[in-house]
Amino acid sequence: MRVQRRKYRFRIINASNARFYSFSLDNGLHFVQIGSDSFYLERPISLKRILVAPSEIIDVIIDFSKSKSRHIVLENSANFPYPDGDSVDDINKKVMKFIVGKRHLKDNAKVPSKLAQVEKLKITKETKTRSIVLYEFDSFTGEPTHLLINFKQFTDPVTEQPKNGTTEVWQIINLTPDNHPFHVHLAGFQVLGQQKIKNLDELSECVVQHNNVEPCQIEKYLDGVPEPPPPNEAGWKNVFKMKPSYMTTILVRFSLLDSQPFPFDPSLEPGYTYHCHVSSPFLFHYFLKPSTPTKKSLLITLNTLKVYFESSLHLVLKIWSNYFSTTEEG
């Protein structure tokens, strides 16, 4: 990509199926991040490296006027699978190349010192807490076969029915060896912290035995104090990276960010999904309640249902197509 010696704003969306990207510029130039998941940060943050999970969105500014070289390569250093998979090599670490113009241009663009006022969500006595367990089943060769959330399949009845307009605490307990980008549809959330899990095998055995984490008393398996989210992810999010062997606590708001009601009825079927973006076939859905259906909301719901089934059909066809091509080759 040819660029001039001035500031550019980039919106980067990780549309990969499973690959994480740890972006950096090979000449040492910094990114100035101003947004995450389409939400503005409170203040711009200068970063030499940015980790982006599948489906995650970042808004960054690069000032090419500060570059001492004309050729800049955007590189990736994230292992695959992330975080403990294979390392990148000299070929696949290179994402794209910038060719910087020779002349310095007049650039009046300025990055504000303050971008947005981010409301800090609070926990009250009325705040409901839910536990969400991520668990992988392995084949006899030790390879993961599928991921389940709370040991449920997508065809199972809805278990989460948060009330429209409320805020809830969700504790996402990742018992897998992989980092999972957790995405909640129709809601924004803020990350409270991530806490290391000790005696992981013992906890996993207990959770599998009960098909539930509640009888296992997760509190006695938490080690140390919670780690706060990175500064560039401390505001509003709708995707967050769930570290392996950690419990991540998020505050989820089921309303528009300005606390205004949705302009449609969110309590109608088919509901809304929360899921891991690495394991896209394993989606889980919830309903918001209660609300009175209207003709407008019913029409929106029917359109949503149409898109939902079309995308599901595409997903099933793609999965089966991949399955048959694999079996034919093997």
Look at 206-210, 220-224, 259-263 and tell me which has the smallest mean pLDDT.
259-263
Question: Does residue 154 have a pLDDT over 70?
Answer: yes
| 76 within some domain | yes
pLDDT attached to residue 287? 56
Instruction: Map residue 321 onto helix, strand or coil.
Output: helix
Q: Which of 207, 179, 251, 247 is nearest to 18 (CA)?
A: 179
**Residue 302 in this model has a pLDDT that exceeds 70:** no
pLDDT value, residue 265: 83
CATH, residue 187: 2.60.40.420
Tell me the pLDDT band of 286, cut-offs 50, 70 and 90. low
Q: Is the pLDDT of residue 300 over 60?
A: no
Helices (H) and strands (E) in the chain, counts: 2, 19
User: What average pLDDT is seen over the chain?
Assistant: 84
pLDDT at 20 over 50: yes
Distance, CA of 56 to CA of 22 (rounded, Å): 12
Q: Report residue 300 as tokens.
A: 């929106």
- Over residues 120-130, the pLDDT tens digits come to 999 998 999 99
Which has more confidence, 85 or 316?
85
Strands of the sheet with 272-276, listed across from one edge: 239-242, 180-184, 272-276, 283-286
Distance between CA 213 and CA 171 in Å, rounded?
A: 11
Which range of residues forms the domain containing residue 302?
294-330
Shared domain for 184 and 227, answered yes or no, is yes
% of residues, the chain, pLDDT over 70? 84
- Helix H or strand E segment including 324: helix 295-329
What span, in angstroms and rounded, lies between the C-alpha atoms of 127 and 188? 16
Residues 27 and 7 in one domain: yes
pLDDT over 70 (residue 320):
no
pLDDT tens string 56-93 = 999 999 999 999 999 999 999 999 889 988 999 998 89
> CA dist 90 to 16, 23, 72, 94, 299, Å?
20, 15, 15, 7, 52
On whether residue 122 sits in a domain, the answer given is no
Kindly report, residue by residue over 85-119, the tens digit of the pLDDT.
899 999 889 999 999 999 888 899 999 999 999 99
Residue 309 and residue 237 share a domain? no
26 located within any domain: yes
